[in-house]
Structure 1
Amino acid sequence: MRERKLTHHDVGRENFVSEVWKWKDEYGGTILKQLRRLGASLDWSRECFTMDDKRSNAVTEAFVRIYKEGLIYRDLRLINWDCVLRTTIFDIEVDYIDIKEKTPLKVLGYKNMLEFGVLTSFAYPLEENLGEIIVATTRVETLLGDTVVAVHPDDPRYKRLHGKFASHPFNGRRHPIACDSILDPNFGTGAVKITPAHDPNDFEVGKCHKLEFINIFTDDGKINSNGGSDFVGMPCFEARVAVTKALKSNGLYKGEEKNEMRLGLCSRSNDVVEPMIKPQWYVNCHGIDKEALDAVMDDTNKKIEITPKQYAAEWKRWLENIRDWCISRQLWWGHRVPAWYVTLEDDELTVLKNKGPT
């Protein structure tokens, strides 16, 4: 980008990898010379590079073995997506900032400062001439992927709406009024828009109620065709402004107020993390977590001593709440997952999904 004003996507995968190899060949030797000048006492006959053929074959072999043992699997889940790097990032690669009130922030790819810490209220028209139901959200652009409006089953304000339907403000999609006791009736209006493909909490509600998952973003953070023709191609935060303007013109905008929130940023690019639903590869961490816990916490079978002792509690907190490790990355420089799609010319379905590495 600095020298040619090009991104790696402009160059293409093969050319990009070729350029990285050129860099490695030019500067890799310099690093080794520096180690020699520092007097590092190393067995230089065993020098190797993590991306050479032998090491790459070893990674593939290890991946396939672990997959066959059932410790690696592929699943469709909500992940942290960096729209600048266009890759998945794991939970520990996300830095969070606490926002107490309406706060302007600079976001990669946008000229103007963007406001966060804002709770926007808007109305969903109800069918059967029942009026409207007002919901509140900090991410109004995601209404393009809404599938349900949810309320607490014991909230007296909405008892009459159980089993009824709302209409999407822009595309007319029917949204059932669903009941879920996990909701906080005291937050906002007590009614919540549900976007299963773009929110961790909504994702769990979507699985529980078997809702439709509608992804509205492209990998570079623009509205895709699922978001509607009026917004398609808009970058995420430009769509936020456009959606708000459209709600105002339809008479459905109900105002905004400051709202405390946590904003996730990628630790590498500092881009705002976008929850996305994608098929990714995971390592099963259950079983390993108990072994690691027992090694520190089990007095009769203790194998590891943590110093200072107070950090044993941190060890316990991490491992008791561990989730399976997402190992997928969409980066072009690195070892590739040894799994493929198989296409058969005489197959009516044309594409068969391979069950695992071959």
Structure 2
Amino acid sequence: MENAKIAILLSTYNGAEYLAEQISSIIQQTYANWQLFIRDDGSTDQTTQIIQKYQKMNQHIIFLNESHIENLGVKRSFMELLAVTQADYYMFCDQDDVWLPEKIQLTLNEMLKNRDKEVPRLVHTDLMVVDQDLQPQRPMFGRDFQDNFRDVLYSNSVTGCTVMINETLRQLLLKQPFDPKQIVMHDWWFALVAAAFGEIAYLAEPTILYRQHGNNTFGADVKGFQRLRRFFKMEQEIKRFTDALQQDDYFAAVFGKADNLSAENKRYLQAAVTIRHSKNNFMAIKALFNSKAKKSTLKGTLLMWYVLGFRHNALKQSIKN
């Protein structure tokens, strides 16, 4: 599979400012056997004209909904792309970043370390956080970490624009219900499914210039003090974990009775569901203790335990709202 066919999935929405730079970086990849499938989600700027220009220039670029532009929202848009394309492996692409020249090759090399096609597999990489002028700030992660199901239930370190998945995971994602109102983001959902039924691999090397600018939908905390401020912004953290637990509830409804969900993962999932529906702080802390959930840093773990356990009443109120 060294010459595997790669489908790159790009959902655009008013991305004219940086889109040409992103597409150019894909064209300049060292790995050649790829196709770029683009779905526009209702742009009102020059985005569609840029796509049309590149489609005429390069036969590997396909504008899927050129004659039927419709706004679905980013989560449904990426799932639509996944449903209508066919390849050996699938990568996901944002409209405002820059891919480093060996991104496809490096990610594929990591994917091929396990050649068992029956295993649902997701590979993601580190990112180089840059400003709007592509000046480097720092690697986003810079270290190896565990992407196990127990921990992905509560937080996500899989960044969609670095992801490659195999056909087995694609089929698993598409054959089950997908309600965008119940999930936080498509990449987190992909990570949950991969961690529950297959495996996630992390390549601790930046393969992308991850641009931070005023129009980002989701971004990275670049400075340490910004991460520290999260301890004092409880409303945001309560909302973050409320959304995570809602997603876990939905995962339990979709996959909770699956025969191939291990007994261990069922226990972790049940703990997350119990935390959401606990009547008081004590019950939530007990469920959290049984789950043994943690984050990649001690500060992150302490914050999670504080919000899910000691601020459980506020969490319950957020769930009601």
TM over 0.5: no
Q: Normalised by the size of structure 1, how large is the TM-score? A: 0.23
Look at both structures and tell me which one has the larger radius of gyration over its CA atoms: 1
Q: Which has the higher contact order (CA 8 A, sep 6+)?
A: 1
Q: Normalised by the size of structure 2, how large is the TM-score? A: 0.25
